[in-house]
């Protein structure tokens, strides 16, 4: 008899447990857990193809849950499709999971890599609503055929060639002591808030008719001039001997950031014949660094075009710094230098020759000495937007250079511009043969030259 009673008690307990696991909780605190928060379809297609991924959905509660709704955020326009409980459906309601149980959902993506109307990286989310609690799983797939770089570190000398574009997802890092060469015509696109970190050396070798492009991966017309779509290029303290020539860098937060001078005295960055535009904050930011710049066009930035603090060495000749933008209310000069950065300071050397520094603010150039650091300034034959007389001796102050079309981004000079034939002879400059004998368009420069980056 005692054995029978014990057996009945076990059955009652088991039955109670079963009922508890089948009872559906309505608590708003209930959350599901997933086998992954992000599903990356990292197959690079060269022809139309499809890939499936499985996601496991876990109910870690003692009681069952009823998922009120599972759906794709993109709906019918999504690049993805779902199979839920064996049924193909991009949306399904009232899906139950028993206590301490799980179900599987299959996600499928079909990619036509030759469809130029779709993004390089396609994204969506699987959305879950359980008792009013929203959760999601991110879906990411490679779209158009390209070379995808996902958070990688380049550990040996590498050359990126023109052809398929390079798409940076999250980041790419050039390791210390390593050189990344980027050939003429190469397109480097950045997805979301991605960044290029250079701890070694970056050598960009564009050409007059075939620039290297650094831009967002959103190539639709709406995003053509949209600032802040990626973070920018960062040259770290260990980076040295960087050169960027004939490049277009656009639509980032800060185009180039450079930390410190090099330990061996070599050039931190030589920037030539390049355009940097559509930046949220600045085209170039330097912290006690070394910048040589010739024939560059910098415009359309939220605050600064060149922001050099903490000292450093700046050799800038035949550049156009146009302090205009279509979106932001600027309050800072286009070109700013100081010997101080936070609590650190260093000697500051600035050479500005044959440049145009112009914009919408009353003062578009400011050079400040805030400490006892040595300040060496050579500012000659520039058009400068200013009401101050600091540089009145050898420059042209408050004289409109008469750009062709500011709104349209054409910063060539109109006929009759006061910048014509005002440039001093740079034929004895050490960089004359390499850079200063021609302009941004590789047209021959004749002295006295036009000021700025364009000769013709």
DSSP state of 161: P
Where b means 16+ CB within 10 Å and e means fewer, 213-252 reads bbbbbbbeeeeeeebbbbbbbbbbbbbbbbbbbbbbbbbb
135 vs 70: CA distance, rounded Å: 10
> 17 falls in which pLDDT band (50, 70, 90)?
very low
pLDDT value of residue 20: 53
DSSP state of 435: I
Same fold, 33-142 and 147-436: no
CA distances from 384 to 143, 252, 354 (A): 47, 26, 10
pLDDT at 89 over 70: yes
Q: Provide the greatest CA pair distance for the chain.
A: 117
426 vs 444: CA distance, rounded Å: 13
Element (H, E) at 197: strand 187-198
Q: Where are the domains of the chain?
A: 33-142, 147-436
pLDDT at 406 over 60: yes
pLDDT digits (tens, 9 = 90+) for 297-343: 999 999 999 999 999 999 999 999 999 987 888 899 999 999 999 88
Q: Please, are residues 211 and 249 in contact by the beta-carbon 8 Å criterion?
A: no
pLDDT at 7 over 50: no
pLDDT value of residue 1: 52
Where b means 16+ CB within 10 Å and e means fewer, 421-443 reads ebbeebeebeebeebbbbbbebe
Q: What are phi and psi of 143, to 5 degrees?
A: -95, -100
303 vs 306: CA distance, rounded Å: 9
Local structure of 223: helix, strand or coil: helix
pLDDT at 3 over 50: no
pLDDT at 95 over 60: yes
pLDDT value of residue 13: 46
> 19 falls in which pLDDT band (50, 70, 90)?
low
Q: Has domain 147-436 been given CATH number 1.10.287?
A: no
Q: What are phi and psi of 403, to 5 degrees?
A: -70, 155
Q: Please, are residues 290 and 262 in contact by the beta-carbon 8 Å criterion?
A: yes
Q: What are phi and psi of 202, to 5 degrees?
A: -115, 125
DSSP state of 222: G
Residue with tokens 């910063």: 411
> 162 falls in which pLDDT band (50, 70, 90)?
very high
CA distances from 352 to 41, 308, 422, 446 (A): 50, 13, 14, 19
CATH class, domain 33-142, is: mainly beta
Task: Give 64's contacts (C-beta < 8 A, 6+ positions apart).
Answer: 21, 22, 23, 24, 25, 96, 97, 98, 99, 101
* pTM for the structure as a whole: 0.90
In the beta sheet, which residues pair with residue 284? 256, 306
pLDDT at 12 over 50: no
Q: Please, are residues 157 and 175 in contact by the beta-carbon 8 Å criterion?
A: no
Q: Please, are residues 444 and 438 in contact by the beta-carbon 8 Å criterion?
A: yes
pLDDT, averaged across the chain: 92
pLDDT digits (tens, 9 = 90+) for 184-238: 999 999 999 999 999 999 999 999 999 999 999 998 888 889 999 999 999 999 9
Local structure of 408: helix, strand or coil: coil
Span 131-159, average pLDDT: 96
């Amino acid at each position: 008899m005692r054995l029978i009673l014990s057996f009945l008690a076990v059955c009652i307990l088991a039955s109670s447990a079963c009922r508890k696991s089948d009872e559906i909780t309505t608590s708003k605190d209930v959350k599901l857990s997933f086998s992954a928060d992000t599903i990356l379809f990292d197959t690079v297609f060269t022809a139309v193809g499809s890939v499936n991924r499985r996601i496991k959905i876990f109910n870690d509660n003692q009681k069952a849950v009823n998922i009120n709704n599972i759906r794709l955020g993109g709906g019918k326009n999504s690049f993805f499709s779902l199979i839920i409980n064996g049924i193909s459906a991009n949306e399904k309601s009232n899906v139950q999971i028993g206590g301490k149980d799980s179900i599987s959902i299959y996600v499928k993506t079909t990619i036509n890599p030759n469809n130029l109307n779709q993004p390089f990286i396609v994204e969506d989310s699987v959305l879950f609503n359980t008792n009013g609690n929203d959760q999601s799983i991110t879906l990411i797939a490679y779209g158009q055929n390209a070379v995808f770089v996902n958070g990688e570190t380049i550990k040996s000398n590498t050359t990126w060639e023109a052809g398929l574009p390079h798409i940076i997802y999250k980041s790419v890092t050039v390791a210390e002591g390593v050189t990344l060469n980027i050939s003429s015509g190469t397109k480097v696109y950045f997805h979301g808030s991605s960044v290029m970190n250079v701890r070694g050396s970056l050598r960009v070798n564009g050409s007059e008719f075939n620039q290297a492009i650094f831009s967002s991966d959103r190539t639709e017309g709406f995003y053509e001039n949209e600032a802040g779509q990626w973070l920018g290029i960062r040259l770290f303290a260990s980076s040295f001997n960087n050169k960027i020539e004939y490049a277009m860098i656009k639509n980032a937060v800060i185009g180039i950031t450079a930390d410190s001078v090099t330990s061996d005295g070599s050039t931190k960055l030589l920037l030539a014949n390049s355009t940097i535009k559509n930046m949220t904050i600045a085209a170039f930011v330097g912290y006690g660094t070394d910048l040589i710049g010739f024939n560059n066009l910098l415009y359309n930035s939220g605050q600064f075009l060149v922001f050099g603090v903490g000292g450093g060495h700046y050799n800038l000749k035949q550049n156009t710094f146009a302090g205009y933008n279509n979106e932001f209310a600027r309050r800072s000069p286009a070109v700013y230098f100081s010997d101080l950065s936070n609590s650190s300071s260093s000697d500051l050397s600035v050479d500005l020759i044959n440049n145009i520094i112009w914009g919408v603010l009353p003062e578009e150039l400011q050079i400040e000495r805030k400490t006892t650091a040595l300040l060496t300034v050579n500012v000659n034959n520039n058009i400068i937007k200013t009401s101050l007389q600091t540089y009145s001796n050898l420059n042209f102050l408050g004289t409109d250079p008469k750009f062709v079309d500011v709104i349209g981004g054409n910063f060539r000079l109109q006929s009759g511009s006061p910048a014509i034939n005002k440039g001093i002879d740079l034929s004895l400059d050490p960089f004359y043969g390499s850079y200063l004998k021609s302009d941004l368009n590789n047209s021959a420069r004749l002295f006295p030259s036009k000021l700025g980056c364009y000769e013709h």
